[in-house]
Structure 1
């Protein structure tokens, strides 16, 4: 059995060391681009990853700085001198996923210290002076994946609520710690809390009658050690199970008689109410086991004053139709001061009885309009030709069942450019030159132009 425990503890230590090495390797990459923190209280610390990782290791801190930056995701606060984690030390940090407060001097953690950390997955508290850990430090159910409590002098029999809390943490995969109960060391995952000693606690006192029927006497009372009873070699209740108290009874019986009624004011300042009146059994009072006065010491009578003021209250809005049949318009609405109406000098309703609200119906019809003509080039490079032009129905286009543009989108116009150059035929310029010189042959050579 001891060999098995030794193997389990060695495997646990190996896993823990592996996690630590991998964590340092991972953090080394992340912390490559790091620098001094600028937040007050953290000037001696290093920040990385845009300020979401705070590294305050080995800085001599005696308490957790407050407040931390709201964007904090990882807090590396190991190897300091913190002795207590107070309630609220880690409140309002919804993004915080990892807290390392290992290798400190922590011996006590307040209730609620880690509540509200809805994103927390890793909490390292190893190498501290914790003797107990309570479930009330956390929320009822968390996303906690890794909880490291190893190297703490835990007395697990004082942690019954913690062991009841553990099964509800469905995300928890890694739990390290060692219980030091019974002068032996037991892995926290193997500890059987049902075998812990339960010390006895006293139940309520049970009180008897006075020992006499009049005058001075004693009342005896007793109690049992059953809330709870001692269990598993727990200690018995401390103190006595019996006790005596003095008691004083009356002397000779005197029957009581009622005094006069004392009447108070009406219970309201307006409308229907009650007048309470009372009397005292003091003429004379009952004493020494005499009988008390017969009847009630109080009585109520109805009283009616003027009607109470009733302040007016608006009734529901009555809403009319939209002022237009399409597009943007207004809806007029009105209400009446009748729920209830003002009465008996009550104030009238405050505000207006009418109001207007904007209303939006389907878009109004928009008829299409032609845009500008876009004109092309003339169909020829000289002389007479045709020039085509076109236009689009987009200024504006027809919408919401409006009519399309009327007319054609394409048109043609005649165009006239410079005259085309003359052709001289097969005899070319020489013939032309010759003609200019010899006008006599114009009729003969004109057929070559």
Structure 2
């Protein structure tokens, strides 16, 4: 009986909005459900964004349909829209200016929704949404180069980039993202997460980097950066080195060794072949500054080099004798 009482108490706290849901009265939305200012058109076989969406709409959910194209006027007249979800569609084209009317939009979900091989136009359209605080681009075929288009979305708080082909992240990409507290990069192609993609200190609370081929010893700057972040930052992920996989939170970088390549020393001062005038000098250098270690590469190039040397002008008698040697007679 006690358990039943608890269950009844929990049910009483459920949102009442769903009890007020009803079919939308707008003919174009007859298959959709309207809850106050929210419109839900999920899994009803739509091939395009419905027309005549009320201009007071604050949330529009179009998940699980077969929408292939977002036209420039698809969201015209929706200045109050704060949340837009396009999950699990088949979007192959987004016209220029498609999101220009969404001045109030703060949350956008387009995960698992694109079928285009080059999603640049999707990201280009998103760059106009400078008020976004939440963005989900899971499985949108985004590459490392495409990712740079997000650098202007400084208001983001929650960013999900899972299941994309991101092999590296450009240094400084997240500089100035002062509100970003949740970043998920699960199952990409990253081999390293470097501290240089962030500011020196952040307000990150969650960093998810599971299911990536991360190499622990290539991330030493990240491990140095980590202690300067919030003490309750949750990092979820693993990295690989020394033939084992390690929880990234406990990896000890003191076990890492790094190849040191050979470096040339400075050239020695050459000894000139003449005592005056122009001659030839030979200079030397050594390959030990530092010497190689831990399979570092050896120097490339020559240990010696011949160069021209120019000393003070020779006295007049020397110049005359030189003239005789070259021309057979001297000047009187």
The TM-score with structure 2 as length reference comes to 0.58
Tell me whether 1:176 sits opposite 2:202 in the alignment. Answer: no
**Separation in 1, partners of 2:265, 2:194:** 31
In structure 2, the partner of 1:95 is: 155
Residue 252 of structure 1, CA deviation:
8.3
**Separation in 1, partners of 2:177, 2:164:** 21
Residues 49-448 of structure 1: matches in 2 within 5 Å?
A: 51-60=105-114, 62-63=119-120, 65-66=123-124, 67-85=127-145, 88-170=148-230, 173-214=233-274, 215-226=279-290, 230=293, 234-239=294-299, 243-250=303-310, 253-254=313-314
CA 172–250 in structure 1, closer or farther in 2 if over 3 Å, else same:
same
Specify the SS of the correspondent of 2:267.
strand
Specify the SS of the correspondent of 1:179.
strand
- RCO higher in structure (CA 8 A, sep ≥6): 2
In structure 2, the partner of 1:18 is: none
Q: Which one of 41, 44, 47 corresponds to residue 84 of structure 2?
A: 47
Residue 190 of structure 1, CA deviation:
1.4
Contiguous gaps of at least 5 residues in structure 1 = 1-28, 257-283, 285-449
Q: Is the 2:105–2:132 Cα contact (8 Å) retained in structure 1?
A: yes
Residue 134 of structure 1, CA deviation:
1.2
**Separation in 1, partners of 2:70, 2:273:** 79
CA 85–135 in structure 1, closer or farther in 2 if over 3 Å, else same:
farther
**Separation in 1, partners of 2:223, 2:246:** 14
Any idea what the Cα deviations from partners look like across 1:48-101, whole Å, max 9, x if unmatched?
695211011112363461314111110011022112155743333342100000
In structure 1, the partner of 2:60 is: 34
Specify the SS of the correspondent of 1:92.
coil
Structure with the greater alpha carbon radius of gyration? 1
Specify the SS of the correspondent of 1:89.
helix
Specify the SS of the correspondent of 1:147.
strand
Over the aligned positions, Cα root-mean-square deviation in angstroms equals: 3.6
Residue 236 of structure 1, CA deviation:
2.5
Q: Is the 1:98–1:121 Cα contact (8 Å) retained in structure 2?
A: yes
CA 41–142 in structure 1, closer or farther in 2 if over 3 Å, else same:
farther
Q: Is the 2:263–2:299 Cα contact (8 Å) retained in structure 1?
A: no
Q: Is the 2:287–2:299 Cα contact (8 Å) retained in structure 1?
A: no
Residue 105 of structure 1, CA deviation:
1.6
Specify the SS of the correspondent of 2:259.
coil
**Separation in 2, partners of 1:176, 1:184:** 17
Aligned residues: 224
**Separation in 2, partners of 1:169, 1:243:** 48
Specify the SS of the correspondent of 2:149.
coil
**Separation in 1, partners of 2:39, 2:175:** 28
Residue 255 of structure 1, CA deviation:
5.8
In structure 2, the partner of 1:320 is: none
Residue 251 of structure 1, CA deviation:
7.7
